[in-house]
Amino acid sequence: MKKALSFLMFLITIASFAQTDLYVSNNANTYIYVAGSNFNDTPVSATVPSSNVPLFVTNNIELAGSNSFIYLRNDGQLLQSSSSNGNSGTGNLSVYQEGNVSAYEYNYWCSPVGSTTASSVSNPFGVTLLNDVVNVTNSTPATVVHLPDHNGLASPLTIERNWIYKYTNPSNLYSDWVPVFANTTINPGEGFTMKGTNGTSANNPGNAQRYDFRGKPNSGTFTMNVAAPVAGVAQQTLVGNPYPSSLDARSFLYDTQNVTSIDAALYYWEQASIGSHYLADYQGGYGTYTINAAGTVDSYSPAVFLSYDAAGNPTGSVGGSVPKTARRFIPVGQGFMVQGRVGSTGTVRTTNNMRVFYKESSANSEFFRLSSEDETYGISYNEYGFSMVPADYKRFRLNVEFNNLYKRQLVQNFHATAGDGFDVGLEAKSPEGVDSDAYWTLDNEAYVIQANNFDASLRIPLVVNVAEQQPVGFSIFDIQQFDDSQPIYIHDIDANLYVDLRTQNYEINLPVGNYTNRFEITFEDATLNTPEVTEADFKIFQDNPQAQLTVLNPNGLDVKSVKMFDTAGKQIFNATNLNIESEYHFTTKTLSEGVYVASITVGSGDVITKKVIVKN
């Protein structure tokens, strides 16, 4: 009890002098233990000291020797405000982070620490600095080797070295991944890949592998090269949060240098566990995150391989992975891709000004965990984990499903400030990466998040690319701030068909092709100019015993044509020069069984459509 009491007094002393330089002597009985569990989140710049931050150091830290330690536990974090990279000494800061429990799944990482070489204040990292947790303060170095089956192990912690890569030269080519293996060559601010482990141990909390990052705490400004798109193809760089504290995505994206060098979006890798190391078997993709400058609206489009339930909520991948959602406050150790902005080639940077104390266990931060309802710093979330837009915004999400296997989820934001050009913080480009895909378009580039100034006459082009003939389905959900009476149509231009996605989904079988001018989202049905003419004026049905399409016209309207289309939009027949009759009959004996669309055009130009099922 005496030891516990003196330890508590030591912590209070440190907090009282948190704005001074910090020196930890080389003594086996001297260390700093920082627990964040009793502190509330304080997402302010690291230049603003706060009594609510577990450990705040104005300038630099010296960890004098190999017996000098700082332990960050239970969401404990370290903030520093110095602009210089000034931490020194050969001691260690220790902080935990959890990754996937699967030897087949990559995490994207960025280390909060570097090696403890005494002659340098900004040292590179290598996975040999990762430790296997023994107890709250002790750990043993992980083994980093090549294993015969290429699978890492949880106990004892053994990391497969052949999955350690970085992506430091801006590119879009798979061949440009740089192997690191067990070398200490990952500079501060550089992201890296590492697969998880098989098996279980005491350090698998919540079905996640726990790693102890030990080394010299990173502090200061770190830069990475980025490049503008080449021939319209985005060039990516793997970066991340290089600090033993959270990183504010808003501050990162709107930094005066970054806002002109990258496209204001973060791309997070997510992968299904399918028990294979073969590249052709991988099922994964990039989720896309952006946030507006005010920090009141964030948008996230998940990785394309996720599946969804009937309400449009993500349920996981075909490999069973739990869906993940990026948030504003980037946790310790998280790596992500950025893309260079058009017309600008230079560097992207992280600085101490972007550091905040925000616990990963809180709702607005995630090392890819499930979300919960919460409201923090201007952004609230519903029970499904989707962020809610303010009252002066509108939003919906469009799911485009390919062959009943996967869906591309597209976000459409609406606000009075949205213009014809790129709207920073409300739009984000597509990470692409799949053969059959769908996207919004701007300046001939693909977007998964787009913004417009809402008007009922607005027509939003939707591009659908189909690599092989397959059914393609359209549905919407997460509809925010729209009047209940406002339809949201998918307009199939070739079939002259409007389907209100608020009342029904739309599915069509599409041949191979890049459909750039066939689909659009609209809010008015152009075929409904004359409200008197509605589907109620006709009775349209398939008389399967007689093998004929029957159209009843009880009001004697002037029918100009009756057409039928298959679900691929191909016209089956077009009956014209029709007299005004009370009923019409058209043979369907030659048609294959399936779903068709009957289309009736009347004298006023109005078109009435209805699906029918042919069973011969």
Structure confidence by residue, pLDDT tens digits, 459-498: 999 999 999 999 999 999 899 999 999 999 999 998 889 9
Element (H, E) at 12: helix 2-16
| Res 201: pLDDT | 84
| Separation of alpha carbons 189 and 547, rounded Å | 69
Q: What is the DSSP letter of 364?
A: T
Between CA 374 and CA 361 the distance in angstroms is 12
pTM for this entry: 0.80
Residue 445 burial by Cβ neighbours in a 10 Å radius (0-12, 13-18, 19+): middle
Report the C-alpha gap between 251 and 328 in whole angstroms. Answer: 10
Give the tens place of pLDDT for each residue, 73-108: 988 999 998 777 778 899 999 999 998 888 998 999
Quote the pLDDT of residue 70: 96
Residue 478: phi and psi, rounded to 5, are: 50, 50
| Portion of the chain with pLDDT greater than 70, in percent | 87
Looking at every residue in the chain, the average pLDDT score rounds to: 85
What pLDDT shows up at residue 529?
55
DSSP 434: S
Write out the residue limits of the CATH 2.60.40.3080 domain(s) in the chain: 535-614
| Fold of the domain spanning 535-614 | Immunoglobulin-like (2.60.40)
* Listed residue (292, 278, 611, 599) closest to 423, CA to CA: 292
Look up tokens 């067990």; give the residue: 182
What's the pLDDT tens digit per position in 537-557?
899 999 998 999 999 998 888
What does the pLDDT look like over 159-214, one tens digit per residue? 999 999 999 999 999 899 999 999 999 999 999 999 999 988 888 877 789 999 99
Contacts for 493 with CB less than 8 Å, ≥ 6 apart: 517, 518, 519, 520
Q: Which of 148-162, 210-224, 351-365 has the lowest mean pLDDT?
A: 351-365
Does the bond joining 49 to the residue before it have cis omega, within 30 degrees of 0?
Answer: no
What is the mean predicted confidence (pLDDT) over 425-430? 96
- Confidence class of residue 149 from pLDDT cuts 50, 70 and 90? very high
- pLDDT tens for 11-54 read 333 433 333 489 999 988 889 999 887 777 665 554 444 556 78
Give the pLDDT confidence score for residue 50 in this predicted structure. Answer: 53
Average pLDDT estimate for 149-153 = 94
Specify the range with the lowest mean pLDDT, choosing from 139-143, 456-460, 519-523, 566-570: 566-570
- CA angle, 20 then 21 then 24, to 5°: 125
Q: Which of 18, 118, 104, 13 is nearest to 65 (CA)?
A: 118
- Taking the C-alpha atoms of residue 612 and residue 593, their distance in angstroms, rounded to an integer, is 11
